[in-house]
Structure 1
Amino acid sequence: MRRITGSALFGLGILCLLFAMALAWVIVPSQRKVPLDLVPPDVVVEAASASFVQAKMLPNGTPQVVVESAGLRSTTGIKPDFRAAAELDGETLIWNVYHSTNRIDTGEMINSSESRIALDRRSGEAVPWEGQCHVEQKAPCTPGNVAFAGHLYLFPFGTEKRAYDYWDSTLHRVLPMEYQAEEEYNGLPTYRFQQQVPDQQAPMDAQSLAALLGFLAPGSTGGAISYRATRTIWVEPMTGAIVGYREQQHRELVPNLGERVVIFDADLQYDQATLDAVRSEAARGRDQLRLLGVVVPIGLAVLGLVLIAAGLLIAAGAGPRGGRRVAAAPSRPLPTPVP
């Protein structure tokens, strides 16, 4: 009976070790991807004071474009398209992204945009998809009018200390997002990254540029938009969640005649509600990954080793079949022959 018990404990210990290795090296790594049914919280960035161009309509019906100064609130909302994602390979997210920027004091909308984008569930990077599009000011979103690339809203599970390509929505291309340092941010261990966009000409459609020149630089016959920005993000590395964001952006209208005009200048950061929401999501995901990928495998491995050792000890202590030893007969001296 002891031998049977020992063998059973030994076998159970081996199973615990195998399951621990499967959890740590196969099961959990295979599940490190964004759930298809994830609905991200709205993200809000604010600037307490900013300069920006605002189009207005005067009481007499005359349009006016002026540079204003006020606080800005920029909101990004995401609605996953589950049906479109289901038609793909199962490894891709389809997100409809809605963006609007409003004055904090009056609530007036300054601009808005809409995008459709495909993202890899593991890396978080944009992937080629014929349905992707981007449009400003609620015009029709025409599929294929943009080629998203790099990272926009997510970083990979197990983010590394290296540079990543990050999408610039003004230039419509990727620029490097450089790793800077490990840093605790909002109560979480994070990696800090920064993207520097050097001063350069930004694209703008001819009609919008002509309108800006006509209102803000009368007399000029041409011009361009000068643009520069610095983005700093804080990433929780286990989940790839962006838990902190800061964008310092500056744009100027540069006419061929007259002075340059600042048309946008703002220092935008997550508001407190967004900080709380993204921290909660990242902390929950981090805890689940640590539990299933580290704590449970270690516990199972220790339990497996204990069971194996116990099984070997019990089996080694078992005697011959029947469990009893046969006592040896006492020795007696041989009889002495009589002469």
Structure 2
Amino acid sequence: MRRSVSPFSLVLLGLGTFLLVLAPLLVQYVQPRAAVNPTDIDTTAVYTGRGSVFDLEKVETVPDQRITVTQRVRGDVRESERSGKAVWDVITSVDTDRTLPAADPHDALSFTPHRWVLDRRTTAPVHCCGAKPRIQGEAYLKFPFDVRKRAYRWWDNTLGDTVVLRYRGTEKVLGHTGYRFTGSVPPTRTGTRLVPGRLVGLPGGGQVAAEEWYANHGVELIVDQRTGRVLYAQTGPRQTLRAPGGTEDRAVLLDAEKIAFTEETQRAAVEQAKDDGDRLRLLGETVPLGAAVAGGLLAAAGVVLLARGRKVTARPDPLAPSA
């Protein structure tokens, strides 16, 4: 008797082994390379709220105005490909109903263009490619992938420094669960501005270098854990002027306790987070798990068939002498 090896058993064993090797490769090699920040980003986030703003025509602070903050982010694809980093150009404008829509962006209460360059995998700021200002910290427009339950240093562009945001549990945004982080900014001097002295209580001083001060009543962010995308953002900026060396606010430029993502912006952020999260979950969990299970079953079946073999009766040797 002799055993013959079935080609089918070898095919099963080979395919099963391939899938078992593929599963950890997807987790360790493919999925981390899919978790990268895009170079061709093109998004707009809109915040709205009510507060006090300084009216240049009336030369006074006007209360209870509707405030709209628009933040446009567009990727510089060519510079990104050249540098290997994500190069994002950001324009942030602050408007009232009177300046919306603004034919000239400089009609806005505030118009700030800047460039953020970040590592595509870690989201850490990179100082190259014309990045301005020199952004620091661990997060700015988004958090790193796989957000942890800990404090993060969030860049506040108005402050020109980082703010510590602490983890406060989970919260849902339009049915999608995210991690909640909060923080605040105490009154901090951020620079100087030439203004008529009377604005800061110096009527006979002509133009003076008034001190610019900034505080934030509270920053609240709800972030998608897997992708680091901000699902909901709320901020409470207060910008004022003080006389040189003064200890009191003399003019309020902007003061709002709550300016937050519109529902439309929240919906777009949630949809994008779900799409990106599903893609990462597919590569990091669903496909590797399926490959491991299928590979194990196929390899086991191949081993069983190979072990059993197929018994075949030996043929008589025609040269052997007959009895």
* 1:1-339 equivalent positions in 2, closer than 5 A: 3-39=6-42, 41-47=43-49, 49-56=50-57, 64-69=58-63, 70-88=65-83, 90=84, 92-104=85-97, 107=100, 109-129=108-128, 131-133=130-132, 146-150=133-137, 151-198=139-186, 200-207=187-194, 210-211=195-196, 213-215=197-199, 217-219=201-203, 224-229=211-216, 230-255=218-243, 256=246, 260-266=250-256, 267-320=258-311, 323-324=312-313
- 2:318 is matched with which residue? none
Larger RCO, structures 1/2 (Cα 8 Å, 6+ apart): 2
Cα distance in 2 for partners of 1:24, 1:130 equals 32
Distance (whole Å) between structure 2 residues aligned to residue 23 and residue 259 of structure 1: 57
Structure index of larger Rg: 1
SS in 1 for 2:180: strand
Report the 3-state secondary structure (helix = DSSP H, G, I; strand = E; otherwise coil) of the residue aligned with 2:56: strand
Equivalent pairs, count: 297
User: What does the per-residue CA deviation read over 1:32-55, in whole Å, with 9 as the maximum and x for residues that have no partner?
Assistant: 11132232x2000000x2101132
SS of residue paired to 1:116: strand
Distance of 1:226 and 1:36 partners within structure 2: 35
Question: Contact between 2:87 and 2:115, CA under 8 Å: does it hold in 1?
Answer: yes
Q: 1:310 to 1:257 in 2, by over 3 A?
A: closer
| Local SS of the residue matching 1:87 | helix
Deviates more, 1:184-193 or 1:216-225: 216-225
Counterpart Cα distance in 2 of 1:18 and 1:117? 39
Q: Give the stretch that moved more between structures: 220-229 or 178-187.
A: 220-229
Unaligned ranges ≥5, structure 1: 57-63, 134-145, 327-339
The 1-side partners of 2:183 and 2:277 are apart by: 25
Work out the CA distance in 2 between the residues paired with 1:259 and 1:127: 36
Whole-angstrom distance in 1 between the partners of 2:146 and 2:301: 37
Other-structure match for 1:59: none
In the TM superposition, what whole-angstrom CA distance separates every residue of 1:75-107 from its partner, at most 9, and x where no partner exists?
Answer: 01122112222221x1x1111111211113662
Tell me, in whole angstroms, the C-alpha distance in 2 between the residues paired with 1:311 and 1:257.
81
Point out where structure 2 has 5 or more consecutive residues left out of the alignment: 103-107, 316-323
| Cα distance, 1:155 vs structure 2 | 1.1
TM-score by length of 2: 0.84
- Offset of 1:216 from its aligned partner? 5.5
* Contact 1:65/1:216 (<8 A) preserved: no
- The letter of the residue matching 1:75 is T
Cα 1:257–1:80 change in 2 (3 A) is closer
The whole-number CA distance in structure 1 between the counterparts of 2:17 and 2:39 is: 35
Classify 1:243/1:9 alpha carbon distance in 2 versus 1 (closer, same or farther; 3 Å): same
* 1:82 alignment partner AA: V
How far is the alpha carbon of 1:238 from its aligned partner? 0.7
- 2: CA distance, partners of 1:317 / 1:43: 65
- State the distance in 1 between where 2:31 and 2:248 align: 62
Change (3 A) 1:251 1:100: closer
- AA aligned to 2:255 is D
Aligned CA distance change for structure 1 residues 65 and 132 (closer, same or farther; 3 Å): farther
1:51 and 1:217 map into 2 onto residues whose CA distance is: 19
